[in-house]
Structure 1
Amino acid sequence: MHKPERHILARLGSHLWSADRQMRKAFPAASLQRVEQAVTAAERGHGGELRVVIEGGLGWDALRAGSQGVEAPSLSRARAIDLFAQLGVWDTADNSGVLIYILMATHQLEIVADRGIHAKVGEAVWQGVVADTMARFRQGEYEQGLLHAIDTISQQLRQHFPAAPDDANELPDRPLVL
């Protein structure tokens, strides 16, 4: 077996076999409940919508595409953008939806913000949130890192999209686990 095949097999193993176990360990049911409560509480203070997605690993098709020269961060970003569209995060009334996507197999975190909030906040803020959260993840503080990300993003949403009396909850608050 030559080196590229070994790399593909290692990547396949991390996505298909170990990632789900790692995800359940990092985000047990009680942790997911606390994340849901944090999203619910945060959204009461602003007009934005947060959607959290935690995925153990990618499927074979995405990994095969990755074996053809796409780097892991690009795979996680592409997946996050795809989920942003599939889950309707882009379709909020004020264009203020934000997706927080975690791919456990590659230890990647992506933030995808709708054009309304992204135009007001900018890429540097999102990169800062990712860096701070990933630092906590590296310490094994997955729940605390995610709660910090929710709080930091919510600060931006409170500033740029203050709560209104008629704000509706447009997206589920419960983290989606894939």
Structure 2
Amino acid sequence: MNTFLDPHQLSSLVEAIKNAEELSTGEIRVHIDSTTVEDNAKVAFEVFKRLCKGQTRELNAVLFHVNFEQKYLTIIGDEGIHAKVHQQFWDLLHDEMSSEFAKGHYFEGLRQGILKTGEKLQHYFPLEGKNPNELSNEITFS
């Protein structure tokens, strides 16, 4: 049960994902985990493999795996986007989002992370022609 984001905020995050993906071929997924109690990194990678890895033509999908109860955030970019932005981008984004979460700003932290990722995707994977939505924008839960 997600008690950190209300239904309106979840809907707004789906809209932020749509907006962030609009001008690029990249894809963004958000998974909120409230069941894992240990080994969050391993679980996050399993979710990434299931939802994102190798599922976009340019290998430019990004997963935000959040476990609010455990105060754990994992951001994983597929090979295409990771090769462009490198670990430093993910580390800085993680720090910024974690700082917002620490203040109790869960919605704003996720929203900012999604939009900043969208800017990077637009820079490195600009839209040329049609933009098929390769992955769902819906937030998933476990």
Q: What TM-score, normalized by structure 2, do the two folds share?
A: 0.94
1:107-118 aligned within 5 A: 107-118=71-82
Shift of 1:102: 0.1
2:44 matched to 1:80?
A: yes
- Equivalent residue of 2:76, what SS? strand
**Corresponding residue for residue 25 of structure 1:** 3
**Structure 1: segments with no counterpart, 5+ residues:** 1-19, 67-74
From 12, 16, 19, the equivalent of 1:38 is: 16
**Corresponding residue for residue 168 of structure 1:** 132
1:114-151 deviation per Cα after TM superposition (whole angstroms, max 9, x unaligned): 00010110001001101000000010000000000001
**Structure 2: segments with no counterpart, 5+ residues:** none
Which amino acid in structure 1 is aligned with residue 35 of structure 2? G
Shift of 1:164: 2.1
Equivalent residues, number: 142
From 22, 27, 35, the equivalent of 1:57 is: 35
Shift of 1:25: 2.3
- Equivalent residue of 1:45, what SS? coil
- Equivalent residue of 1:57, what SS? coil
- Equivalent residue of 1:47, what SS? coil
Distance 1:88 1:26 in 2: 24
Which amino acid in structure 2 is aligned with residue 119 of structure 1? A
2:113 matched to 1:135?
A: no
- Percentage of matched positions with identical amino acids: 26
Q: What TM-score, normalized by structure 1, do the two folds share?
A: 0.76
Structure 1 or 2: more helix by fraction: 1
User: Does the aligned pair in 2 maintain the 1:96–1:117 contact within 8 Å?
Assistant: yes
- Equivalent residue of 1:169, what SS? coil
Distance 2:7 2:104 in 1: 17
Rg (Cα) greater in structure:
1
Q: Which has the higher contact order (CA 8 A, sep 6+)?
A: 2
Shift of 1:76: 1.7
- Cα distance change on mapping 1:103 and 1:90 into 2, 3 Å: farther
User: Does the aligned pair in 2 maintain the 1:89–1:99 contact within 8 Å?
Assistant: no
**Corresponding residue for residue 66 of structure 2:** 102
Q: Which runs of 4+ in 1 moved over 6 A?
A: none
